[in-house]
């Protein structure tokens, strides 16, 4: 049951990454759109749960949309322009990839002292 829940969670994070990536690609031509897309991407990457069903799934969905959008279209043009904003969006893909890879690792749990008297070694 837990595995099924995690697979469902991974699919939801994958779809969320595709949705945020689509919005970032479609709005990157506007200065506010690029900032909004990158800020939303960063916020969701930070908020996503660690483990293969969280950040890596979100990053995979985002990067698939970026890869599809950067390919040449039938008309011979590109959805992502070869200018500063387009290169910023493409470069942010490497940051999203790094965030996704970092999502495989969990932070070690910190052991808190009980606040009692010190013990001698």
> What pLDDT digit, counting tens, does each position of 4-20 carry?
888 898 899 999 999 99
* Mean per-residue pLDDT over the chain, rounded: 83
Question: Which pLDDT does position 114 carry in this prediction?
Answer: 60
Question: Which pLDDT does position 120 carry in this prediction?
Answer: 56
Check: CB of residue 45 under 8 Å from CB of residue 58: yes
**Rounded to two decimals, what is the model's pTM?**
0.78
> What pLDDT digit, counting tens, does each position of 63-116 carry?
999 998 888 777 766 778 788 888 888 888 888 888 888 776 766 667 665 655
């Amino acid at each position: 049951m837990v595995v099924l829940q995690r697979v469902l969670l991974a699919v939801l994070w994958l779809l969320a990454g595709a949705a945020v990536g689509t919005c970032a690609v479609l709005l990157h031509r506007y200065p506010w759109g690029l900032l909004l897309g990158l800020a939303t991407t960063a916020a969701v990457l930070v908020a996503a749960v660690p483990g293969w069903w969280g950040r890596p799934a979100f990053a995979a969905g985002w990067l698939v949309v970026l890869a599809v959008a950067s390919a040449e279209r039938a008309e011979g043009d590109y959805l992502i322009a070869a200018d500063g904003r387009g290169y910023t969006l493409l470069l942010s893909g490497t940051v999203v990839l790094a965030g996704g890879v970092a999502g495989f690792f969990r932070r070690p749990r910190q052991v808190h002292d009980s606040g009692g008297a010190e013990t001698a070694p």
